[in-house]
Structure 1
Amino acid sequence: MNIYVGNLPWGVTEEALKTLFSEYGTVDTARVITDRNSGRSKGFGFVEMSNDSDAQEAIEALNGKEMDGRALRVNEARPTADNDSRRRRY
């Protein structure tokens, strides 16, 4: 299951995100999304867990939990649309 994690502290690392979620099961990947120009975190990321029940437990436990003074927003990631209107095609 792919999990969206929002409202991340600006300084969080992918390793810290993986450690946080690994308390609930095996984490396949953990990514913090960064701005491609500045390299700074955009304040959200994604965690992939292969076991759906572990992922659901992590979502329930971590949604609203504070991390460095910020309440995390954690839910199942929505799939991206192929025709995403935010993308510009030239």
Structure 2
Amino acid sequence: MEKMVKLFVGGFPLEMTELELVQMVALYGEVSTIKIVRDKKTKICKGYAFIEVTDYQGAKQIIEALNGTTLAGRQLTISIKEDEPEGVKPPVYMKIRRPDEPVRAKRPRRV
């Protein structure tokens, strides 16, 4: 069984619904899941989404057909989202204090 392929979709009209987006993309590949990214407080669309399709061939067809097209005056950007390897976290950079270095007090936060 082939692995699902996650696509990044950006540049679509902000008022577009999940159903409308799926209907547009489903003409070229089988959609498994969709997630339109919205602001947590206002619930307003941020203008991009992630769509999972069932196979790589469908993902390529979607990109070839829709990437760069104009929809309601906005240009669509569609690309394959590469997954980060599991268990690998980005490095955390910290200043390491030498044993003889004094500890500096932090300034209070401005409100």
Relative to the length of structure 2, the TM-score reads: 0.69
Unaligned runs of 5+ in 1: 86-90
What corresponds to 2:53 in structure 1? 49
- Partner Cα separation in structure 2 for residue 14 and residue 84 of structure 1: 32
Asked which structure has the greater CA Rg, the reply is 2
Q: Return the TM-score normalized by structure 1.
A: 0.84
* Distance in 2 between residues matched to 1:84 and 1:4, nearest whole Å: 21
Matches within 5 A, 1:21-60: 21-60=25-64
Sequence identity, in percent?
A: 29
C-alpha distance 80-34 of structure 1, shift in aligned 2 (>3 A): farther
What count of residue pairs does the alignment treat as equivalent? 85
What code does the residue aligned with 1:42 have? K
Q: Gaps spanning 5+ residues in structure 2: where? A: 92-111
| Residue aligning to 2:13 | 9
* Higher RCO structure, 1 or 2 (CA under 8 Å, sep 6+): 1
Q: Where is the helix percentage greater, Structure 1 or Structure 2?
A: 1
Query: Is the 8 Å Cα contact of residues 29 and 47 (structure 1) preserved in structure 2?
Result: yes
